[in-house]
Structure 1
């Protein structure tokens, strides 16, 4: 039987349980890094603690994004500590540290967030390399 013109090219697949919450978690993670630092993290933390009974996909993405956000805070704190050790914010070395931080740390965390968002939109789990936590089934 040949498909008619009204049939979609691919059959509809239902979204996996927890996919919407997984996407929201990844979007909040990226918003925390790029648009609304702190505010988006508080919303993400609220979801993390509120959605303990969420499906495994959502729990995994929530766990990953909270862990990566905490690492982002730690790395930013380390960069600030290094700036203070090098003589404070008035020193030329400050810009070296700032540029290195944004080039290496911040951009890596953003790219991992984009990859996590793509996986969430595909309905798949994702463990952030190095900074992520295991997703136990």
Structure 2
């Protein structure tokens, strides 16, 4: 991976983290635009980093929003046990997703491949 591709891989994983931490939605759209723009020109390593970051962002949104919404609807917002479960779930899953994103970012900075621990992102080597 050359220096330009490494910088783009770093940008993709940084946008994934930005989507989780500071600008949800806005950073996702930026990641989607970068993926569409860079993927046709990219080598295999950058394509994999772009795919990993984008699909991980999709999974992150589903895990955080849809599961939290389902727990809230099934448990009822007036139930204190629902709130405890929601806070624990969101905190633990969000922390895990941020840690995996930081790991992927460090791998991209080193110019190495990375795979998020989410379904659909593992491929045999």
TM-score category (smaller protein): 0.7 to 0.9
TM-score by length of 1: 0.79
Which residue in 2 is equivalent to 1:80? 69
Which residue in 2 is equivalent to 1:22? 9
| Larger-Rg structure | 1
Distance 2:120 2:92 in 1: 17
TM-score by length of 2: 0.86
Q: Is the 8 A contact 1:25 1:44 kept in 2?
A: yes
Which residue in 2 is equivalent to 1:113? 101
Unpaired segments of 5 or more residues in structure 2?
none
Q: Is the 8 A contact 1:44 1:66 kept in 2?
A: yes
Tell me the alpha carbon deviations over residues 22-62 of structure 1, each in whole angstroms, 9 at most, x when there is no partner. Answer: 00000000000000000000000111122222122221111
Q: Which runs of 4+ in 1 moved over 3 A?
A: 14-17, 134-137
Distance 1:67 1:107 in 2: 18
Q: Is the 8 A contact 2:72 2:82 kept in 1?
A: yes
The structure with the largest helix share of the pair is 2
RMSD: 2.2
Unpaired segments of 5 or more residues in structure 1?
1-13
Please state whether the residue corresponding to 2:39 is helix, strand or coil.
Answer: coil
Q: Is the 8 A contact 2:71 2:86 kept in 1?
A: no
Alpha-carbon offset, residue 117 of structure 1: 0.3
Q: 1:134 to 1:64 in 2, by over 3 A?
A: same
Distance 1:135 1:85 in 2: 35
